[in-house]
Amino acid sequence: MALHNKFSKQELRKKLMEETFGRTTVSFYKYVKIEDTQALRDDLYLKFDALNIFGRIYLASEGINAQISVPSHHWEKFIQSLISYSLFSGIPLKKALEDDGKSFYKLIIKIRDKIVADGLNDNTFDAGDVGKHLSAKEFNEALKNGALVVDMRNHYESEVGHFKGAIRPDADTFKQELPIALDLLKEKKEEKILLYCTGGIRCEKASAFLRHHGFKDVNQLYGGIIDYVRQVKLENLENYFIGKNFVFDERLGERVSAEIISACHQCGTPSDNHTNCKNQDCHLLFIQCKECEKKFDGCCSAGCKEIFALPIEIQRKIRKGKIKNDTHAVYKKGRLRPGLKK
């Protein structure tokens, strides 16, 4: 049996749309020592593929980081399969806030050096010396009492949704963000610091990183935004998160509050709908309103729209470099176009 997908994206998406059963999108991670990542990777693939599970899983010697879509009728089998590994005993599972069952269309399990690319040398500090984990209620209390709250996600994530008053480092990647956050907070080492991210995994490293650099009172939101919203609803707490929670799957976002706090990158009207440019030679992630989606055929620029309108054979030649392409998007990944108000 092949331990990887062998169908095209189009075939897989068609199969997904034709499914007659529901799916549950769930994410989980755990920092735990894994001795043989290749053996675990192959075993997980066989078990999860047999359950028709889709998603993206990263394995490293330091642990696991997963976002997957489980057929609802296989949920209990999935749980039993996961806990059959003693390594993953007690691992917290975070279900999606909004779920149409179309978050993933294939299963990918990759071995990496780290389960989150942070650019850090873990031998230079104690990565296990993390900050205090706070519940949603504790996080809210700290916010109300004036603690500094820092968004440990990328700029395009915090652009569409964030906690009120959060410091939002302008970074494209977590690796870029860590030194930026350190610089922004360099005069705040004695203050109470609150960190948050999507599911909590980035805060594990970020809190240890800050503690290593002398910060005295570092705290992190347990379970991230996803579990915060669950706790807020369950305990009828006040919600301090505004906008959308960006997610790294086909949905690209989960609605948390009604406010739209961002703007279309093409015309500047209120919008928080992320999309990828339909020109596959570009594939830029950006925010696009419905009107601009119609105007540009789902592309980020007039130049990409022209390419997208070409026969698919010509588009493939452009992607392979057989035809020169001088019409790329004019702004960086997820950035508002110059001249428009944010």
Separation CA 213–CA 182 (nearest Å): 8
Secondary structure (DSSP) of 302-318: HHHHHHHTS-HHHHHHH
Asked which of 42-46, 105-109, 124-128, 163-167 is least confident by mean pLDDT, the reply is 124-128
The answer to whether 267 touches 292, Cβ cutoff 8 Å, is yes
Complete domains list, the chain, with CATH: 20-111 (3.30.70.100), 125-243 (3.40.250.10), 262-342 (no CATH)
Instruction: Measure the N-to-C terminal CA separation of the chain; round to a whole number of Å.
Output: 51
Of 130-139, 143-152, 177-186, 311-320, which range is least confident?
311-320
DSSP string covering 48-80? HHHTT-EEEEEEETTEEEEEEEEEGGGHHHHHH
Q: Which residues 6+ apart lie within 8 Å of 49 measured at CB?
A: 107
Render pLDDT for 239-288 as a digit per residue (tens, 0 to 9): 999 999 999 999 999 999 999 999 999 999 999 999 999 998 889 999 99
Q: Sign of torsion, CA 114 179 286 247?
A: positive
Q: Which amino acid is at 148?
A: L
**Strand (E) or helix (H) holding 161:** strand 161-163
Q: What is the pLDDT of residue 325?
A: 52
169: three-class secondary structure by DSSP: coil
Mean pLDDT of the chain: 92
Q: Which of 117-121, 151-155, 161-165 is the least confident region?
A: 117-121
Q: Is 197 a catalytic residue?
A: yes
Triad 148, 154, 159: Cα angle to 5°: 80
Burial class (CB in 10 A: 0-12, 13-18, 19+), 311: exposed
pTM of the model: 0.88
Predicted confidence at residue 331, as pLDDT, reads 43
How many of the other CB atoms lie within 10 Å of CB of 34?
A: 20
**Closest Cα partner for 293 from 269, 260, 315?**
269
Q: Which of 197, 282, 289, 304 is catalytic?
A: 197
Residue 333's pLDDT band (boundaries 50, 70, 90)?
low
Q: What's the CA gap between 177 and 168, in Å, rounded?
A: 9
The predicted pLDDT at position 157 comes to 97
E strand or H helix that includes residue 192: strand 192-196
pLDDT at residue 135 tops 80: yes
Beta partners for residue 304, in sequence order: none
Of 96-110, 228-242, 319-333, which gets the smallest average pLDDT? 319-333
Residue 63, CB half-sphere, CA atoms under 13 Å: how many? 18
pLDDT digits (tens, 9 = 90+) for 284-330: 999 999 999 999 999 999 999 999 999 988 888 887 765 555 544 44
Is the model's pLDDT at 60 over the cut of 70?
Answer: yes
